[in-house]
Structure 1
Amino acid sequence: MSPLKLPATLLHDQADDCLATWVAQLPPDLPPAVVLDASGLSEFDSSALAVLLGLRRVLTQKGSVLRVDGMTPRLSELASLYGVMDLLQPA
């Protein structure tokens, strides 16, 4: 499975559609870890975190884990501020 990619812009208005699109694209046989490339994300609000956590929840229910690669400093800072960094970047 090729990595999922965050769009350049992910604001509240796009959040539900973004998550629904990813969930619809998931293959029935998931790999142990699904990679999401966050490096292209440049304009976002806290809804981006909600999308990532929603995808993480869906993958966990299906027996897989989410691995977020390329988190920008700003996205990492927001995740830390909201206390969810450990959920998105487990040790």
Structure 2
Amino acid sequence: MIEEAEGGLRVTAPMVIANARALLEAGHRLLRSGQQSGETLLDLAGVDEVDSSALSVIFAWQQRGGERGVTLRIANPPASMISLAALYGVSELLPLA
């Protein structure tokens, strides 16, 4: 679902409402573990489906990371996520790598 990978984090599950709570909690656990520090890459190459809940999860991870001194940068975001962010007017809030 979400795992540590080469100094960053990698999401390997669809980021949709059905998975949102589990993704949110798993990401918070990883951010709380202290393994991540400074700028951390969040690789979304393995994400093949997103809905608007994906943006909420990412923003929550950003907030939690910020509380711990971790800055998330998103790599390989799905085109549909970029489109949703533009639709909702929050593109500038996505920390793209």
Query: TM-score, with normalisation over the residues of structure 2?
Result: 0.79
Query: Separation in 2 of the partners of 1:42 and 1:62?
Result: 29
Instruction: Identify unmatched segments of 5+ residues in structure 2.
Output: 1-5
Which contiguous aligned blocks of 4+ residues in structure 1 show a shift greater than 3 angstroms?
Answer: none
Question: Which residue is 2:73 aligned to?
Answer: 67
- What residue in structure 1 maps to residue 16 of structure 2? 11
Instruction: For residue 29 of structure 1, report the CA deviation from its aligned partner.
Output: 5.6
Q: Which amino acid aligns with 1:81?
A: L
Q: RMSD in angstroms over aligned alpha carbons? A: 2.0
8 Å contact kept, 2:75–2:96:
no
Percentage of pairs with the same residue:
30
Which has the larger displacement, 36-45 or 20-29? 20-29
* Count of matched residue positions in the alignment of Structure 1 and Structure 2: 91
Q: Which residue of 2 aligns with 1:33?
A: 39
Once residues 14 and 39 of structure 1 are traced to their aligned partners in structure 2, the CA distance between those partners, rounded to angstroms, is: 17
Which structure 1 segments of 5+ residues have no match? Answer: none
- Of 70, 79, 83 in structure 1, the residue corresponding to residue 85 of structure 2 is 79
Q: Higher relative contact order at CA 8 Å, sep ≥6: structure 1 or structure 2?
A: 1
- Residue 44 (1) aligns with residue 68 (2): no
The CA distance in 2 between the partners of 1:42 and 1:29, in whole Å, is: 26
Matched, 1:57 2:76: no
